[in-house]
């Protein structure tokens, strides 16, 4: 019965990350029927495909909220209408705007720096191959990565004609190339005219830029196609019996997540809540030590020993050790820096902020403005310190750190500021009363360091 419900399709013979046309278009051009396809599309252009099996698992770039039913050109809707059947299960897909996919791509290691390195590797490989031919043909002046990005971003996908062109004669091929007709295609690394199974100007463009990993392509496209939908539609494949729905699971995989190890329980609660409120689109990439009963490695000393232990036993988890921006945190971070840490681990201090250069501090000489960076800025200092009905926020100097020749300080009423933050919801934040600018800077640093870990582990030979 599934075969009656599905339209026949044809899959391009290009490599799995080449960008080709829609399956229905290939069928119309060739008349061949070779099975049911599944693709990862952006604005209707396929960046990957598989036939009669799931293929690449793209669940990591989506979340559960992205799962929904959308119309499919692989379904025979006449059959559903004639038989009074509901096509919803066969239409199931993950769909997410490219601007919301991009942050997830970065945490998977696909930032623009990684894409540049990959592009340069492709270009070098292509030049080496051409030079090995030892013929008299001149070697083209390949696009630099900057030129390639400019080329990609100069042609937003929704500006390209997606009209299906059936013919294979020269006039039709010229129409398919559209605005790109006459372009010096040889300047694009690995370009081969016989590999491009385009059927429209848009799909032809996809074939030109699809020379790197599909996620790298998406990351570059994100610079000029923020609202373009990224679609992974699995319903037809499941309907045809080639896969089961349980194979399509969203969210970051365990090996792709980052364990965030902190000095204390309050840091865990604050960071988890901040991610849920301010970075919900990537919050599933972060895991924390269970502090439901107590923190097993509380304090800077214990956290450094924990890091040292993980380093010695070669743990494969991606781990970030987070220290406060105070004297204790600075001392611990300096001790951590003496360890030879693997690429999957990093230690960071909470960021230094200009707001902390002149911060009220109470000591033996009274209350005066002081620079509390690296001296007294625990994570509570990054919250809104104007809430809770307390007097103006200040830190109290406590003990002297002889090794650093500086005093350690603590924020007065810090538990109260923490409780006020944990009460915040997306609704209260939308009202704009609570200031999240400082905790945003913490999340920016955390995400940047996690991205750096993911990028550093990239193998150009994969």
Give residue 381's pLDDT band: very low, low, confident or very high (50, 70, 90).
very high
Using 50, 70 and 90 to split pLDDT, how confident is the model at 462?
low
Average pLDDT for the chain: 89
Q: Give 13's pLDDT tier (boundaries 50, 70, 90).
A: very low
Do residues 278 and 424 touch, judged by C-beta distance below 8 A?
A: no
Strand ranges, E, within 179-289:
229-233, 258-262, 286-288
Name the pTM for this structure: 0.90
CA distance readout (Å), 88 to 39, 51, 64, 70: 18, 21, 17, 8
Q: Is the pLDDT of residue 14 over 70?
A: no
- Each residue's pLDDT tens digit, 410-438: 999 999 999 999 999 999 999 999 999 99
Tens digits of residue pLDDT in 243-285: 999 999 999 999 999 999 998 899 999 999 999 999 999 999 9
Q: What is the pLDDT of residue 2?
A: 59
Crossing angle of the two packed helices 98-107 and 437-456, in degrees rounded to 10: 60
Q: Using the predicted structure, report yes or no on whether residue 139 has a pLDDT greater than 70.
A: yes
Which residue ranges make up each domain of the chain?
Answer: 2-247, 254-456
By CB neighbour count within 10 A (0-12 exposed, 13-18 middle, 19+ buried), where does 30 fall?
A: exposed
Model confidence at 194, pLDDT cuts 50, 70, 90, reads low
pLDDT digits (tens, 9 = 90+) for 195-209: 668 899 999 999 999
Contact status, residue 165 vs residue 200, Cβ threshold 8 Å: yes
Top-confidence residue, 6 or 325:
325
Distance CA 23, CA 417 (A): 56
Segment holding 145, helix H or strand E: helix 145-153
- Name which residue leads in pLDDT, 98 or 129: 98
- State residue 132's pLDDT score: 81
Pick from 218-227, 295-304, 414-423, 428-437: least confident:
295-304
In 3D, which of 378, 376, 351 has the Cα closest to residue 361? 376
pLDDT tens digit sequence for 389-414: 889 999 999 888 888 888 899 999 99
Give the Cα separation of 6 and 312 in Å (integer).
55
DSSP code of residue 6 = B
- Centroid of chain to Cα 246: 23
Kindly tell me the sign of the dihedral angle through the C-alpha atoms of 366, 369, 374, 378: positive
Q: Which DSSP symbol is given to 41?
A: E
In the chain, % of residues over pLDDT 70: 90
Query: How much is the average pLDDT of 55-60?
Result: 97
pLDDT beyond 50 at 166: yes
Provide the pLDDT for residue 293. Answer: 62
Task: Give 289's pLDDT tier (boundaries 50, 70, 90).
Answer: confident
Residue 264 or 228, more confident:
228
**Three-state SS for 117?**
helix
**Better-predicted residue by pLDDT, 24 or 84:** 84
Residue range 45-57: mean pLDDT, rounded: 94
Note the pLDDT tens digit of each residue in 19-31. 333 444 434 333 3
Q: Is the pLDDT of residue 340 over 60?
A: yes
């Amino acid at each position: 019965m599934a075969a009656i419900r599905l339209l026949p399709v044809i899959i391009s013979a290009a490599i799995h990350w080449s960008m080709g046309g829609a399956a229905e278009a290939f069928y119309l051009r060739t008349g061949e029927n070779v099975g049911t396809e599944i693709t990862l599309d952006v604005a209707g252009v396929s960046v990957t495909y598989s036939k009669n099996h799931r293929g690449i698992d793209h669940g990591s770039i989506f979340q559960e909220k992205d799962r929904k039913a959308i119309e499919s050109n692989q379904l025979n809707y006449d059959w559903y209408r004639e038989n009074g059947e509901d096509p919803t299960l066969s239409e199931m897909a993950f769909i997410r705007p490219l601007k919301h996919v991009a942050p997830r791509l970065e945490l998977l290691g696909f930032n623009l720096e990684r894409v540049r390195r990959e592009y340069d590797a492709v270009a070098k490989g292509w030049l080496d191959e051409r030079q090995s031919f030892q013929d008299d043909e001149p070697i083209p002046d390949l696009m630099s990565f900057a030129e390639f990005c400019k080329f990609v971003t100069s042609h937003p996908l929704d500006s390209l004609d997606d009209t299906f062109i059936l013919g294979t004669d020269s006039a039709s091929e010229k129409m398919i190339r559209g605005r790109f007709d006459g372009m010096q295609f040889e300047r694009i690394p690995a370009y081969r005219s016989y590999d491009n199974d385009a059927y429209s100007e848009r799909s032809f463009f996809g074939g030109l830029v699809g020379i790197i990993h599909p996620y790298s392509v998406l990351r570059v496209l994100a610079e000029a196609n923020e609202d373009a939908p990224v679609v992974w539609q699995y319903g037809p494949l499941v309907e045809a019996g080639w896969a089961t729905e349980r194979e399509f699971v969203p969210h970051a995989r365990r090996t792709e997540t980052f364990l965030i190890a902190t000095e204390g329980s309050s840091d865990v609660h604050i960071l988890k809540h901040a991610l849920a409120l301010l970075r919900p689109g990537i919050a599933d990439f972060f895991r924390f030590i269970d502090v439901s009963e107590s923190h097993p490695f509380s304090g800077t000393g214990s956290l450094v020993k924990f890091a040292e232990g993980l380093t010695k036993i070669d743990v494969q988890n991606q781990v970030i050790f987070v220290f406060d921006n105070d004297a204790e945190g600075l001392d611990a971070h300096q001790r951590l820096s003496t360890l030879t840490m693997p690429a999957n681990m990093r230690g960071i201090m909470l960021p230094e902020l200009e707001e902390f250069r002149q911060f009220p501090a109470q000591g033996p000489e009274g209350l005066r403005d002081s620079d509390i960076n690296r001296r007294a800025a625990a994570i509570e200092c990054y919250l809104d310190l104007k809430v809770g009905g307390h007097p103006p926020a200040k830190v109290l100097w406590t003990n002297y750190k002889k090794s650093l020749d500086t005093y350690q300080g603590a924020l007065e009423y810090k538990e109260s500021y923490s409780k006020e933050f944990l009460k915040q919801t997306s609704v209260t934040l939308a009202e704009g009363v609570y200031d999240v600018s400082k905790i945003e800077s913490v999340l920016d640093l955390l995400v940047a360091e996690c991205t750096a870990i993911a990028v550093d582990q990239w193998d150009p030979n994969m």
